[in-house]
Structure 1
Amino acid sequence: MARSNTFSAPRRHSKSIYLGKVQVGGDSPVSIQSMTTTKTANVEATLSQIYSLAGAGCDIVRCTCNDGEAAIGLAQIVPRSPLPIVADIHFHVEMALAALEAGVAGLRLNPGNLRKPAEIKLVAQEAKDRGVPIRIGVNAGSLHPDLYKKYNGVTPEALVESAMNELSLFGEVGFEDVKISVKASNVVLMIEAYRILAETVDVPLHLGVTEAGPPPAGIIKATAGIATLLSEGIGDTIRYSLTADPIEEVKAGRVLLEALGLRERKGLDLIACPSCGRAEIDVIAVAKAAQEALEKLNLPLQVAVMGCVVNGPGEAREADLGIAAGRSKGHLFIKGKIVGVVKESEMVSALVEEAQKIAKEGVEARLAAADPNAQAEAEADRLALLENRGVDANNSITKIEQIRRRIDLSE
């Protein structure tokens, strides 16, 4: 039976809130967030970055509000932003109130830094009056000293208790438009904290591994935490906290959600073989060139770059479009069917041209327009490669036999 490409783990049920027009929680798609790296007071630079983030697929953006100039900047940014703005508040209650005056769509409060109950309840009341949600953003690096002492360090239970303490203060003023994060740079700690939290509350959860670091290690760490929880049905919105251009955070988030079937593909998904002894081209170089050329088209296609025609079209038969190398040629295929043969030097340009045609005409029309001689030519190349290099192009069979002889001798 064919396997579904749809992510099928049961989604944790949560309430929903709205940041502007973006729904978080409930039955809404998992949303992608990022944070600007510009000074918020620099209105034009910040807006430029926000527009770039929106173009990359970001749903919600956070801006720091750490002083009066930043709050004034927010007042000018909010009405011009294509995305809902969340103001990041750490130490000063005045900045939270100023951000609300600026018209932000949401606040993020850190319970470890903004600690006075009266001030927290004041912000919650003001947010309630304006219909503005708040994220309780617990961070392992700024855990309240009392909780650190109680639990003898940072533990999942300590992070969850921090969130629950803040939530209880919100409850005292009847404020319920809440989402929560319990982030840590330790992936295992973060995962366990969210698991406990998911069983404790029914509010939306914002997932992230804080201070994940630069790519590629940062992406791997963040993915390990976020993907694990999403696979368990936990999580309503995500952010990759990378030491990199925020665009990279959004790209990573989108790739993850598309890979899990949690968001519809909107851009390129390029797959490529890892190469082997049968490869006729530099797969890495061709895949890189194809990625750079195809990403500019911003088409929702899965495209394959395969090193040879022996197994390539069959292994990548589910791809919308692909190309495999064989005897100084490129064999173009759609859904596993060979539709054309081009010069090796034209492989990338052929992919770009065919991708544009598929977007305009559709897959079935392009299959109908296949070169009638392409399949036979590709099969001839495949058989020639098998004859020249044998079935075992990587010489694995010989190696296995040698290993077995050594094992027999050792016995």
Structure 2
Amino acid sequence: MTYREKTKVISIGDRVIGGGNPVLIQSMTNTRTEDVAATVAQIRRLEEAGCEIIRCTVPTMEAAKALGEIKKQIHIPLVADIHFDYRMAIAAMENGADKIRINPGNIGARERVEAVVKTAKDRNIPIRIGVNSGSLEKPLIEKYGGVTAEGIVESALDKVHMIEDMDYDNLVVSIKSSNVLMCARAHELIAEKINYPLHVGITEAGTLTSGNIKSALGLGIILYQGIGDTIRVSLTGDPVEEIKSAKLILRTMGLRKGGIEVVSCPTCGRTKINLIELANQVETMVAGMDHLNLKVAVMGCVVNGPGEAREADIGIAGGVGEGLLIKKGEVVKKVPEDQLLETLREELLHWK
């Protein structure tokens, strides 16, 4: 039995994680939460892309109060991100947050943490305990001779035990680092010690290119071990890109079906069409076709294209001013080059 299968089942709004339930995709808004219209608009874009849980920062009382109006206009669970002020956590829950994210070590005195836990308990709202390597306590850094996986885990367990001692176990745990291997090791260690659902991600991963590579490696290692109940691909950019990457990671790991996988050749001297542009157009076109579970091949030449596309459900291969439509490795149609994309679109729209 994998860790994912034995974790405690937790409800976040109308979604359920843990106990072998599907891994859910999460992101975070980068708007001012106080700006309801902008925040709702971004969340709706994320919903359309496939986001299943959304987190908003709550740095002010105005932001906490805005959560209530935001929640009325969206369709996925809303998580409040709290950093230092326990009053924001309480206000966020009073205004409808489906989950709160806190680091109890940043909240302050024990009675403040108890006040947050009491509100969560009264409303049965899960608490995500978040510990990042960048905020590891000095005594643990000294104990382990630097920031280590062992130190991150010990810090998280201290926080978990603190909340458990307050007679509350409606918890999700998050331990993150920008160091991929340290993050993976920390998840291996903590999976041996608790059974709470884990939110997984590589924090501060970077820009679209570096962030995707680090996240794919880190999440791949962790998910392959059966660890992780929700994931976030942290990117410096449009959060919609996080959702695209997360969906692809889950499909690649075999943890999610549905959606179209696009495969394309790297181009070579035989390529006679603008394959790079065409492949990007195809990827954009199929992004919302989650009802189809297909592999689409985009190939640059008619010499090897049909053979290379044989394992795909459908594909196109370019030639000189024309191209081929291929199904299961068999050429079924030849069309002018400028009709390749539309021909593929029509086939997908009427796929049976």
| TM-score after normalising by structure 1 | 0.81
CA contact (8 A) 2:315 2:325 kept: yes
Match of 1:148 in 2: 141
Indicate whether 1:100 and 2:93 are aligned: yes
Match of 1:290 in 2: 282
Change over 3 Å in CA distance of 1:150–1:52 after alignment to 2? same
The 5 A counterparts of 1:3-402 are 11-266=4-259, 268-295=260-287, 300=292, 301-358=294-351, 362=352
Change over 3 Å in CA distance of 1:126–1:55 after alignment to 2? same
Partners of 1:286 and 1:79 lie apart in 2 by 40
What SS does structure 1 have at the residue aligned with 2:6?
A: coil
Partners of 1:128 and 1:111 lie apart in 2 by 16
Match of 1:402 in 2: none
CA contact (8 A) 2:296 2:314 kept: yes
Partners of 1:297 and 1:167 lie apart in 2 by 40
CA contact (8 A) 1:112 1:143 kept: no
Partners of 1:23 and 1:57 lie apart in 2 by 16
Post-superposition offset of 1:220: 0.6
What SS does structure 1 have at the residue aligned with 2:248?
A: helix
Which 10-residue stretch deviates more, 141-150 or 291-300?
291-300
Partners of 1:121 and 1:322 lie apart in 2 by 58
Post-superposition offset of 1:322: 0.5
1:294-317 superposed Cα distances (whole Å, 9 cap, x missing partner): 446666342111122333222222
Change over 3 Å in CA distance of 1:185–1:194 after alignment to 2? same
Which 10-residue stretch deviates more, 331-340 or 192-201?
331-340
| Matched residue type, 1:97 | I
| Matched residue type, 1:203 | Y
Partners of 1:57 and 1:285 lie apart in 2 by 24
Post-superposition offset of 1:269: 2.0
1:93-122 superposed Cα distances (whole Å, 9 cap, x missing partner): 111111111111001012442243222232
CA contact (8 A) 2:5 2:20 kept: no
Post-superposition offset of 1:23: 0.8
Match of 1:5 in 2: none
CA contact (8 A) 1:112 1:139 kept: no
CA contact (8 A) 2:309 2:326 kept: no
What SS does structure 1 have at the residue aligned with 2:81?
A: strand
Partners of 1:244 and 1:26 lie apart in 2 by 33
Partners of 2:251 and 2:212 lie apart in 1 by 15
Partners of 2:289 and 2:224 lie apart in 1 by 31
Runs of at least 5 residues in structure 2 that lack an aligned partner in the other structure = none
Post-superposition offset of 1:153: 2.1
Partners of 1:137 and 1:274 lie apart in 2 by 40
Which 10-residue stretch deviates more, 81-90 or 272-281?
272-281
Post-superposition offset of 1:80: 2.7
| Matched residue type, 2:275 | V
CA contact (8 A) 1:180 1:205 kept: yes
CA contact (8 A) 1:85 1:104 kept: yes
Which of these two proteins has the greater Rg computed from alpha carbons?
Answer: 1
Partners of 1:278 and 1:86 lie apart in 2 by 51
Partners of 2:37 and 2:204 lie apart in 1 by 27
Partners of 1:188 and 1:292 lie apart in 2 by 32
Which 10-residue stretch deviates more, 254-263 or 309-318?
309-318
Change over 3 Å in CA distance of 1:251–1:312 after alignment to 2? same
What SS does structure 2 have at the residue aligned with 1:199?
A: coil
What SS does structure 2 have at the residue aligned with 1:162?
A: helix
| Matched residue type, 1:290 | V
Runs of at least 5 residues in structure 1 that lack an aligned partner in the other structure = 1-7, 363-411
Post-superposition offset of 1:251: 1.1
| Matched residue type, 2:91 | A
Change over 3 Å in CA distance of 1:243–1:112 after alignment to 2? farther
Post-superposition offset of 1:154: 1.2
Change over 3 Å in CA distance of 1:112–1:173 after alignment to 2? closer
What SS does structure 1 have at the residue aligned with 2:107?
A: coil
1:155-200 superposed Cα distances (whole Å, 9 cap, x missing partner): 1111111111111111112111111111011111111111101111
RMSD: 1.9
Change over 3 Å in CA distance of 1:298–1:31 after alignment to 2? closer
| Count of matched residue positions in the alignment of Structure 1 and Structure 2 | 351
